[in-house]
Amino acid sequence: MHNINNFKEMFIKLDCEKNHKTMLLFSPNNFDHIIATYGIENSDLIMEQAIELLQLNCPSYANLFVLDCGEACIVLNEVDSEKAKYLTQQIQAFFYVVSIEFNKIKIKISFTVGIASGCNEEVYSRAKMALITAKQNHRKYEIFEKNKFLQSVISKNLYWIEKLEDVIENNGLKVYYQPIVNNETKKIEKFEALIRIFDDEKVIGPSNFLGLVKQAGLLSAITKFVINESFKMQKETSHEITINVTNDDFMDDSFINFVEQKLVAMQIDPNKITFEVSETITEYSDYIVEQVFKLKSMGFKIAVDDFGVEHSNFARVMHFEVDYIKIDGSFVKNIDTDKNSYIITKTIANFAKAIGAKCVAEFVSSEEIYEIIKELGIEYSQGYFFSEPLSSLNTTNNLL
What pLDDT shows up at residue 5?
47
Whole-number pLDDT of residue 309? 62
* 238 vs 204: CA distance, rounded Å: 28
**How far, in whole angstroms, is CA 265 from its chain's centroid?**
32
d(CA 302, CA 111): 28
303 half-sphere exposure, CB direction, 13 A CA radius: 27
- Residue 264 pLDDT > 70, yes or no? yes
Q: Which stretch of 82-91, 168-177, 257-266, 280-289 has the lowest confidence by average pLDDT?
A: 280-289
Over residues 257-277, mean pLDDT: 95
- Which residues are CB-contacts of 49 (< 8 A; sequence separation ≥ 6)? 100, 102
DSSP 8-state symbol, 137: T
Query: In which element (H, E) is residue 175 found?
Result: strand 173-182
Q: Would you state the pLDDT for residue 139?
A: 87
Give yes or no for residue 129 having a pLDDT over 90: no
Look at residues 87, 84, 90 and name the one whose alpha carbon lies nearest to residue 23. Answer: 84
Mean pLDDT confidence for 339-360? 93
User: Longest Cα pair distance anywhere in the chain, in angstroms?
Assistant: 69
CATH of 162-381, one of 3.40.50.300, 3.20.20.450, 2.60.40.10, 3.40.640.10: 3.20.20.450
Q: Is the pLDDT score of 170 beyond 90?
A: no
pLDDT at 134: 87
State how far the Cα of 309 lies from the Cα of 345, in Å rounded to an integer: 11
CATH class of the domain whose range is 2-144: alpha beta
> Which is nearest to 281 in space by CA: 271, 298, 295, 262?
295
Range in 158-167, 196-205, 243-252 the model is least confident about:
158-167
> Which of 215, 167, 175 has the alpha carbon at shortest distance from 196?
175
Q: Give CA 290 to chain center in angstroms.
A: 21
pLDDT score at 156: 63
* pLDDT score for 8: 53
Q: Which residues pair with 26 in a beta bridge?
A: 72, 113
Name the nearest CA neighbour of 114 among 155, 71, 147: 71
| Amino acid 192: pLDDT | 96
Mean pLDDT of the 30-53 span = 83
Max avg pLDDT among 140-144, 204-208, 371-375: 371-375
Once rounded to an integer, what is the mean pLDDT over residues 339-365?
93
The residues, ordered by sequence, that sit 6+ positions from 99 with a Cβ below 8 Å of its Cβ are 106, 107, 108
Does the structure show a pLDDT above 80 at 99? yes
User: Distances from the Cα of 372 to the Cαs of 111, 334, 337, 366, 367, in angstroms?
Assistant: 33, 11, 11, 10, 9
Q: How many CB atoms lie within 10 A of CB 133?
A: 21
Q: Does the pLDDT at position 15 exceed 60?
A: no
Residue 327 and residue 349 in contact, taking contact as beta carbons nearer than 8 Å:
yes
Answer yes or no: is pLDDT of 359 > 70.
Answer: yes
| 348-357 contacts at long range (C-beta below 8 A, 24 or more positions apart) | 348/307, 348/308, 348/312, 349/376, 349/377, 349/378, 351/314, 351/325, 352/325, 353/377, 355/317, 355/318, 355/322, 357/322, 357/323, 357/324, 357/325
2 pLDDT more than 90 = no
- Tell me: pLDDT of 169 over 60: yes
**Among 43-52, 261-270, 391-400, the range of highest mean pLDDT:** 261-270
State yes or no: pLDDT of 281 exceeds 70.
no
The domain locations on the chain are 2-144, 162-381
Q: With bands split at pLDDT 50, 70 and 90, how would you rate the model's confidence at 239? A: very high
What are 300-333's pLDDT values in tens digits?
A: 999 998 776 655 567 777 777 899 999 988 889 9
Cα angle value 350/352/358 (rounded, 5°):
120
Specify the range with the lowest mean pLDDT, choosing from 133-147, 182-196, 363-377: 133-147
Taking alpha carbons only, the member of 283, 286, 341, 291 closest to residue 317 is 283
What is residue 119's predicted lDDT score, i.e. its pLDDT? Answer: 78
Contact 180, 188 (CB under 8 A): yes
Nearest of 212, 241, 323, 327 to residue 279 by alpha carbon: 327
The residues with which 244 forms a beta bridge, in sequence order, are 276
The mean pLDDT of 58-68, rounded to a whole number, is 85
Mean pLDDT estimate for the chain: 84
Q: Residue 334: left (phi > 0), alpha (psi -120 to 50), or beta?
A: alpha
3-state secondary structure of 367: helix
User: Are 259 and 295 spatial neighbours (Cβ–Cβ below 8 Å)?
Assistant: yes
